[in-house]
Structure 1
Amino acid sequence: MATATESQTRTLISQVQLDRPIARTVYWVAFWTLIVLFALVFLFPLYWMATGGLKSSKEIIQTPPTVVPHQIHPSNYSAAWHDANLGKLILNTLLYAFGALGFQLVFDVAAAYAFSKLRPAFGNAVLFAMLASLMIPTTVIALPTYLTANSLPFVHWSLLNTPWAIWLPSVASAFNILLLKRFFDSIPSELLAAAAIDGAGPLRALWSIVLPISRPVLGVVSIFAVVAVWKDFLWPLLVLTDTSRQTVNVGLYQLSVGIPQNVLIAALAIASVPTIVFFLIFQRNIMSGLTAGSMKG
């Protein structure tokens, strides 16, 4: 007789079928075949990029292409680091990414907390308008945003070629606000009521109760904020015309016509390392934060 735990677990193949030797063999063969297939699909582009940076200029344009380099040229990576000035470009991108992260953690958390717990007047209408902005393509609002950054209303300051041109537009992240609000909605109101009885105001309750509970979703928002700035291309291309202030994506695009193709691929491989390492370190935070949306109260 199946136990209560087994009866509540629903899978495509029952445990009774898996107990049969033939079914178990077929299951594990199919399972590992799919695992290997998907691993190849996702990892092969990374392998192609890493090995492309090791090929010679002649081999990189050879037809048909070679899967394994005939001769390894590790000097391509050192040339890419110096010729493309990757160190400066990566430092610029890190500055923009973590600056945007700081602003989002302050303003997006405050907005989501207000929508969820403080319930301001016309809050639902404002939230609806913010969510409706998700339906607008980024390229549609690029021009008005650029004109605003070029000459701020009333003060007429130009933010071009400054980190503020990256930081301030990134604060308006309706998706992150929605993600934070959904998590804050799951926090029992009794906790905040008990804090209010003890004399804690809204800011104290946010700092002492809400934020410690919200670490998983804050981790996810942080990852999304950093990755969004790191992979962005169009907006930095418009507002960062000074080559000494460009991001890694824009800098490599500007230099792509002046360096050999194998060196360019090596530069792309180096530029992708920080994001891969970032994902490998925080992959558990991504999954736990996306699934953390309910609490027992």
Structure 2
Amino acid sequence: MLFPRVGRKQPMLRIAWWAVVAFLCLGIALHLFPFYFMLVSSFKSGEEVLAFPPTFWPQDPSFAGWKLVFQIVQGSAGQLLDAPLWLFFWNSVQITFWVLVIGIPITSMAAYANSKLQRGPMARWSFLFFIGTLMMPAALTLIPNFLLTRNFPFALPNAPNIPGTDTAFPTFPIWDTHWAVIFPICFQAFNFLLFKGFFDTIPDSVIQAARVDGGSEFNIFRRIVLPMSVPVYAVTIWTAFSLAWDQFLWPLVVLQTPERMPMSVELYLLMERIVQSGGTSAEAAAAEAEVMQDMLGGGLSWNGLMVLAILQSLPVFIAFIVCREYLLRGIRLRGLK
């Protein structure tokens, strides 16, 4: 611990102790304040949410924002959305599901092979190859990913020819499909680093003993390594889930059909429509009072957007609750039985 129990009653040490506690409490309050303000704003009326100075508690609680979102979910909110909101939520669920089902096994097996199967220069170069993707900005991969979706599985403007022939390799264009969003993020170098660091802590003697008993590498991984790796799997599943659920730029680029958009992109497009309608501007509400009163009364302002933001962040929060024990405990091996 930062301050040992012995000597905590000394005046200077107690002052330092309470100073650290106050600093941490301030950090927690600053971190939670946006979520508090988002939750409170969702229960404000349209007029109150645009009032200045802002109120930190609803003076006249209203469920207009929640009623508007209920209408959007049913698809009865006019031209705000191209389809019911549940369809975009389902798109996000599908994308996230396949990212986890495909990405976590691939990443963990690649890390296990690099940690326990490869030796010498091959292991070092493979490790650098996988980790090197962390050094590249995400914007740098947009063009290669674009070419990959156009000529899958080749990230090239045109598919190469089959050696010795003039016939090109067959390609599968996945542009404007969910697979174009799923494949580029299946492998995550950060999760590979977590898996590799954890597998390195497993003694080689355990693996060798299983090999002597006649176990294949897959059975060793499935029967010995996998049960010992529950903490790191919980951490990587949560990080992969958060990335897949909240991704925005790449789905916005690669998906063109409105009905295939994930929740994160569709909420942005909905916010743009509400902003353009003047529902988030106090000046516009004052200039067109009669028209805007109906819009604000119907939740077409920041209160409705805050409700949508709560719904968007709720799955990530639920995933954190499910994995919280291992996230808070950290990635460490407590012992072998």
Per-residue deviation, 1:212? 0.8
* Separation (CA, whole Å) in 2 of partners of 1:24 and 1:118: 50
Scaled by the length of structure 2, the TM-score of the pair is 0.77
Unaligned runs of 5+ in 2: 73-80, 155-168, 275-299
CA contact (8 A) 1:56 1:71 kept: yes
Q: Does 1:268 align with 2:330?
A: no
Matched residue, 2:326: 285
Q: Find the partner of 2:235 among 210, 220, 237.
A: 220
Distance 1:156 1:245 in 2: 22
Q: Which residue of 1 aligns with 2:157?
A: none
Gaps of 5+ in 1: 1-9
User: SS at 1:225's partner residue?
Assistant: helix
Distance 1:108 1:283 in 2: 22
Q: Quick one: distance in 2 between partners of 1:11 and 1:39?
A: 18
Calculate the aligned-residue CA RMSD, in Å: 2.5
Distance 1:11 1:127, change over 3 A: closer
The separation in 2 between residues aligned to 1:26 and 1:127, in whole angstroms, is: 46
Deviation at 1:206, TM superposition (A): 0.8
Partner of 2:55: 66
**Shift in Å at residue 93 of structure 1?**
1.2
Displacement of 1:245: 1.6
Give the residue type in structure 2 aligned to 1:98.
F
**Structure 1 counterpart of 2:69:** 80
Distance in 1 separating the partners of 2:249 and 2:33 = 27
Aligned length: 285
Give the drift of 1:292.
1.2
Give the distance between the partners of 1:232 and 1:201, measured in 2 at CA: 38
Alpha-carbon distance change, 187 to 112 in structure 1, aligned in 2, over 3 angstroms: same
Please give the per-residue CA displacement for 1:190-232, whole angstroms capped at 9, x wherever unaligned: 1111111111111111111111111111111111110111111
Q: Distance in 1 between matches of 2:228 and 2:139?
A: 37
**Letter paired with 2:46:** S
Residue 191, structure 1, aligned to residue 206, structure 2? yes
TM-superposed CA distance for 1:30, in Å, is 4.4
Runs of 4+ that moved beyond 6 A:
22-25
Using the alignment, how far apart are the partners of 1:17 and 1:212 within structure 2?
41
Corresponding residue of 1:168? 183
CA distance in structure 2 between the aligned counterparts of 1:11 and 1:129, rounded to whole angstroms: 37
Show the 5 A alignment for 1:126-205: 126-152=126-152, 153=154, 154-205=169-220
- Separation in 1, partners of 2:127, 2:19: 46
Mapping of residues 243-262 of structure 1, within 5 Å:
243-259=258-274, 260-262=300-302
In the other structure, the counterpart of 1:103 is: 102
Aligned to 2:286: none
Q: Deviations over 1:109-153 (max 9, x none)?
A: 111111111116723212212212211100111122112112223
Q: Secondary structure at the match of 2:309?
A: helix
- Displacement after TM superposition at 1:291 (Å): 3.0
Local SS of the residue matching 1:273 = helix
Match of 1:57 among 42, 46, 60: 46
Identity of aligned residues (%): 27
Letter in 2 for 1:218: Y
CA contact (8 A) 1:182 1:293 kept: no
CA separation of 1:51/1:17 partners in 2, compared to 1, >3 Å: closer, same or farther?
closer
Q: CA deviation at 1:243?
A: 1.9
Q: 1:15 — aligned with what?
A: 6
**What secondary structure, in the 3-state scheme, does the structure 2 residue paired with 1:258 have?**
helix
Match of 2:256 in 1: 241
Alignment of 1:107-118 (within 5 A): 107-118=106-117
